[in-house]
Amino acid sequence: MYKSAVLASLSLLSLVSGQQAGTSTSETHPRLTWQDCSGGSCKNVNGEVVLDSNWRWAHVKDGYTNCYTGSEWNATVCPDNASCAKNCAIDGADYGGTYGISTSGNSLTLKLVQKHEYGTNVGSRVYLMESSSKYKMFNLINKEFTFDVDVSKVPCGVNGALYFVEMTADGGMNKGQNKAGAKYGTGYCDAQCPHDIKWIAGEGNVDGWQPSSDDENAGVGKYGTCCPEMDIWEANSMGAAYTPHPCSTSGGPYRCEGTECGDVGGDRYAGVCDKDGCDYSHYRLGDQAYYGSTVNVQSKFTVVTQFLGSGSNLNEIRRLYKQGGSVIENSVVAVDGVEAYDSITDQMCEDVKVAFGDNNHFKQLGGLNEMGASLARGHVLVMSIWVDFYAHMLWLDSTYPTDADPSKPGAARGACDTSSGDPVDVIANQPDSTVTFSNIKFGAIGSTYK
Ligand SMILES: *[C@@H]1O[C@H](CO)[C@@H](O)[C@H](O)[C@H]1NC(C)=O
Ligand SMILES: CC(=O)N[C@H]1CO[C@H](CO)[C@@H](O)[C@@H]1O
């Protein structure tokens, strides 16, 4: 809900992204097999994943000087956004050694902290590809998306996320100065309109860039980059939610500026995207025992998400789990004055938001109807592991806002302490936090888990 992209880094040759393609390290995408079940039976697809450009080393095109170090741009090579992208290159990635990203067969593992030759990397974000230079585009309507996850090593404050965003297939290749494209993980956007993205529309986000006060590897620029987002899985071992976030934008990343970014403060509900979304969190919706007891989070389980609708109409988003060979129906909403819903519909969102006293920006921006229109245009699959410098992930796994009475409907989202999740603590004390996603399947409703 309060997602902000988290950057990682190398301290010596700090990680940076640029917009030309560098040649110091060759870019070899880790292989990841998944299954397409749309033709009646499930068939293996030989896929690959790519690391987002924000994590990559960005250096001057013809040399080794950093264009960006820690949380700052080099003003000599990046005097303004356009020349920065022209002068700088983002390079290939050592996935295992630098970023703690590994794949084996149909399984992807993301490790939170990776110490390497030049420093320490924190978190990562990868996209599933259709070819070495194009993202795989999914239309989820009237389809089912399924995967296995192991959250047993994802503690309070860490989010092992699997979600979809309306990026473009080529990553914005040839937009502005972007000569790197999807092969180098460019073109990210999400419904939080993140400002910490270094390259937007083939330009450096240099204008007005301010280093983060608490994250030594990040900063925020004047521009944010917005697009509709469908969170299938935002979770750790203490909490889990799935959440549609519609936006009024379409056709790929929208570069926002000012009020339309919906930034912290008075603008949250004035932006082009629904930042809260309509979240289905088992705990927050009143079944505190479900995630952790009914679903055993100490061992791997299967997550099934169904998008009921047709054409570009999305009517309902359903969830079920499978573990130890048994199907586990979704938890049921147990909130005073609200029906016992077991899925997301516009009516469920409305009733829950009224009961919780939440703003219904979701409805204002078109609800499931607008989310469906976006899904029908095609979305890119994202998998990430991240920590939250802004809200310590308390919106996912604790009581939030932290000064709310936990007995107030909607305030409690998980059993983590309100003092947990500070990235400084998590990075120091739980560096081996790891999420594993595997066995991804996509197909007709009912085709992926029986
Ligand atoms: C910034 O870039 C210039 C030009 O390449 C270089 O001479 C200088 O050392 C760089 N500064 C830093 C702090 O890296
Ligand atoms: C979108 C865009 O072009 N933004 C800025 C890039 O940098 C120049 C010079 O600083 C600005 O004038 C643009 O507005």
Distance CA 246, CA 363 (A): 9
**234 a catalytic residue:** yes
User: How many A from CA of 338 to the centre of ligand 1?
Assistant: 60
User: How many A from CA of 75 to the centre of ligand 1?
Assistant: 8
Instruction: Report the b/e string of 311-344 with b at 16+ CB within 10 A.
Output: eeebbbbbbbbbbeeeebebbebebeebeebbbb
For the cut 70, the answer to whether the pLDDT of residue 10 exceeds it is: no
- Ligand nearest the Cα of residue 64 is 1
The pTM for the full model equals: 0.95
Residue identifier of the C-alpha nearest atom 3 of ligand 1: 76
Q: Which of 207, 255, 256, 260 to mutate to test the pocket of ligand 2 (most atoms within 8 A of CB)?
A: 207
Q: What is the tens place of the pLDDT at every residue in 349-370?
A: 999 999 999 999 999 999 999 9
User: How many A from CA of 76 to the centre of ligand 1?
Assistant: 6
Assign 20 a pLDDT band (cuts: 50, 70, 90).
confident
Distance CA 311, CA 151 (A): 34
Return the CATH superfamily for domain 20-444.
Glycoside hydrolase, family 7, domain (2.70.100.10)
Q: Which atom of ligand 1 is nearest to the CA of 74?
A: 1
For the cut 90, the answer to whether the pLDDT of residue 450 exceeds it is: no
Q: What is the tens place of the pLDDT at every residue in 237-293?
A: 999 999 999 999 999 999 999 999 999 888 999 999 999 999 999 999 999 999 999
User: How many A from CA of 54 to the centre of ligand 1?
Assistant: 20
* Domain residue spans of the chain: 20-444
Residue identifier of the C-alpha nearest atom 9 of ligand 2: 80
**257 a catalytic residue:** no
SS3 letters for the chain? Answer: CCCCCCCCCCCCCCECCCCEECCCCCCCCCEEEEEEECCCCCEEEEEEEEECHHHCEEEECCCCCECEECCEECCCCCCCHHHHHHHEEECCCCHHHHHCEEEECCEEEEECEEEECCEEEECEEEEEEEECCEECEECCCCEEEEEEEECCCCCCCEEEEEEEECCCCCCCCCCCCCCCHHHHCCCCCECCCCCCCCEECCEECCCCCEECCCCCCCEECCEEEECCEEEEEEECCCCEEEEEECECCCCCCEEEEHHHHCCCCCCHHHCCECCCCCCEECCCCCCCCCECCCECCCCCEEEEEEEEEECCEEEEEEEEEEECCEEEECCCCCCCCCCCCCEECHHHHHHHHHHHCCCCHHHHCCHHHHHHHHHHHCEEEEEEEEECCCCCCHHHHCECCCCCCCCCCCCECCCCCCCCCCHHHHHHHCCCCEEEEEEEEEEECCCCCC
Beta-bridged to residue 210, according to DSSP, are 220
User: What local confidence, expressed as pLDDT, does residue 21 receive?
Assistant: 79
User: How many A from CA of 20 to the centre of ligand 1?
Assistant: 18
- Ligand nearest the Cα of residue 77 is 1
Q: Which of 76, 84, 88 to mutate to test the pocket of ligand 1 (most atoms within 8 A of CB)?
A: 76
